[in-house]
A and B are shown apart, each in its own frame.
Chain A
C-alpha cells in the first residue's frame, strides 16, 4: 500500500519534470540560471576567491585580471567575490521578506475571505490603498523611516508585498469556502479555527506557492 503510493508520487514528480522540460528552450535556460543562482548563493564562501570586505587600497579600481576576474572597486575589494556574496544576501533577504509578507498577507486574506462583512471591507480597502502607492516609493520611504540597514529593508520589502497576498488569498478563500466540504464541516460543528487552518489554508496552498516563487524574484530585483 505504502509502496504503491510512493511509486505513484515519484511517477507524478517525474511527469511534472518532464512537462516542465518539454516547455521549450527558454524555460530550460531559466531553470539553469535559477539553479546556478541558488547554488552560488548557498556555496558563496567556497566559491568566492576573496572575502568580500577585504580592502586593498593599493589595488583600487583595478581592471580585469587573472587575480581579480572582474576587477576591484574603489576600496580595492574583489568585485567577483562581492557579487557572489551579493547573491547570497539578495536571496536571503528576499526569502525572509517573502516569508514575512506571506505570513501576514495569508492570515489577513484568510480572515477577510472567510468572515466577509466589515472586516473584509476594511482589510481589502487597506490593501487597495497600499497597492496605490507605487512599490518603490513605499519600500524606500518605509526603509528610510526605519533607519536603513538590511533589517529594515527586508521588513520594508516584506510590508510592500503583503497586499498581493491578501488579494490572492481573499479570492482563493472566497471560491474555496463555497465547496460542499466546508458546508459539511460547518454542519458537524467544527470550529472556525479548524476550518480556516485545516481545510481552507491547505486547499489554497498550491496557488500560494506559485505566488510566493514569483514574488521571490521580484524581491531579489528590489
Chain B
C-alpha cells in the first residue's frame, strides 16, 4: 500500500510540475511585453522598468520560473498590476467561497447519484426507473449554463423564492448561506448526479445478478442489508473511478456556475482576469485550480486503493 501511495504521489508531483510549466509559459508565449500591455503605451520608462524588475521580467527565463515557483510555494503570488491587489490575499478570500459551493456540489451529487442509482436498479422496469433514467439522460445531455439559466428564470425570477445572485458566507448567516447556494448547487450537481446514477444503476444490476448475492439471499440476509452491505460495496469501485474522472469537470463547471450566479469565487475571478488580460491572476488561478484537481484525484486514487482488494493485494 505504501508503494502504491508513494507512486501516486510521485506521479501527482510530476503532473503538477508540468502544469506549472504550462501556467508559467502562458504569459511568455504571448507576443509583446505583459507590463506594457497592461500599463498602456503612455507609461513612463521608469514605471515600466520598475514593474519589469518587480516581476523579475528582466531575469533570464529559467530564473524567472524558479523565482515564480519559489514565491508561489512561499505563498507570495505577487501583485496584480491591473487592480494593484495582492494575488495571494484575494485568493485566500476567494478560495473558501469556491469550496463552500464546490464541496456541497460533490456531496449532493454523490448522495443523490447513488440513491437514484440504487432505486432505479432495484425497481428496474417500473415507472420510477423510467422517469429517473430519462431524467438522467437529459441531465447528461444538457449543458450546464443552460440549466443554470433555466433555474434562475424559474426559481429566481418567476417564483422569486430563492436568491440567484451573490453569496453569503456560512459564518455570517448559515440559513442565508444555504439559500444562496441552493440554485448554484442544483445547477452544478445535475450532470454529475446523472452520470453517477447511470453508473450506479448498471453496476448494481451487474452485481445483483452475481452468485454471492444469490448466496447471501439464500442465507436469509435481509434484502436491505444485502443492498447496502454486499451489493453497494462492490458496485462502489467503478463509481469511484467515475468520480475521479468527474472532478475536473466539477471544478471546470464551477467557473460557469460562479459566473452565472455572480459568486465571488476563483472561477469568476479567473474569467475577469482573462477578459482583462491580467496574466498574474490567470497564472495563479490556473495553478491553484489544477492543484485542487490533482489532489482530489490523488485522494480518489488512494481511496480506490483501500476499497479495491485487487489493488490492495497487488501493492501490498
Contacts and interface: CB of A to CB of B under 8 A. Distances in A.
Contacts of B290: 132-134, 137
A37 to B, nearest CB: 13
B153 interface: no
- Size class of the contact patch on chain A: 20 to 34
B253 A133 contact: no
Contacts of A129: 14-16, 18-19, 22
A144 B253 contact: no
B153 to A, nearest CB: 15
A126 B18 contact: yes
Residues of A contacting B: mostly: helix
A140 to B, nearest CB: 5
Interface residues of B, number: 34
A26 B19 contact: no
B19 to A, nearest CB: 5
Interface string A116-134: 0000000001101111111
Residues of B contacting A: mostly: helix
Interface stretch (B58-66, B83-91, B176-184, B281-289): B281-289
A133 B137 CA distance: 26
Contacts of B18: 125-126, 129
Interface of B: 11, 14-16, 18-19, 22, 26-27, 29-30, 134, 137, 143, 248-249, 251-253, 255-256, 270-271, 274-275, 277, 282, 285-286, 289-290, 293-294, 297
14 contacts: A26-B134, A125-B18, A128-B15, A129-B14, A129-B22, A130-B22, A133-B293, A136-B255, A137-B270, A140-B274, A141-B270, A145-B26, A145-B27, A145-B30
Interface of A: 26, 125-126, 128-138, 140-142, 144-145, 221
